[in-house]
């Protein structure tokens, strides 16, 4: 445990930021799984809606620092390939 007040504050902030990052990553995984099921069901309208929602969520995660930009680019590319496969 830290003895210095600033270190205590940094621990609290780090814990809060860690939870925020987990929320972003969990939401992205959930949306990705939903997108996979809609692609398998050949539901074009729902797939397009989830695609835009997922790419937006990925971009927000990058801007907040929860994901690295290359990781986000790889995820978005993977999602775009899924969408292309549907067409």
* Token pair 């990058």 in the structure block, residue: 62
pTM, two decimal places: 0.88
- Give the start-to-end residue ranges of the domains of the chain: 5-86
> Closest by alpha carbon to 38, among 24, 48, 26?
48
Q: How many CB atoms lie within 10 A of CB 29?
A: 11
Q: Which two tokens stand for residue 42?
A: 């050949």
Please check whether residue 67 is in contact with residue 55, taking contact to mean a CB–CB distance below 8 angstroms: no
In tens digits, the chain (87 residues) has pLDDT values of 889 999 999 999 999 999 999 999 999 999 999 999 999 999 999 999 999 999 999 999 999 999 999 999 999 999 999 999 887
Kindly give, in sequence order, each residue whose CB lies less than 8 Å from that of residue 34, ignoring residues fewer than 6 positions away: 50
Question: Which fold, 5-86?
Answer: Methane Monooxygenase Hydroxylase; Chain G, domain 1 (1.20.58)
């Amino acid at each position: 445990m830290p003895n210095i007040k600033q270190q205590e504050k940094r621990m609290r902030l780090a814990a809060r930021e860690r939870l925020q990052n987990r929320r972003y990553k969990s939401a992205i995984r959930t949306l990705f799984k939903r997108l996979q099921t809609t692609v398998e069901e050949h539901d074009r309208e729902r797939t397009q809606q989830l695609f835009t929602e997922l790419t937006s969520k990925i971009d927000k995660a990058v801007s907040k620092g929860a994901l690295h930009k290359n990781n986000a680019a790889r995820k978005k590319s993977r999602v775009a390939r899924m969408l292309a496969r549907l067409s």
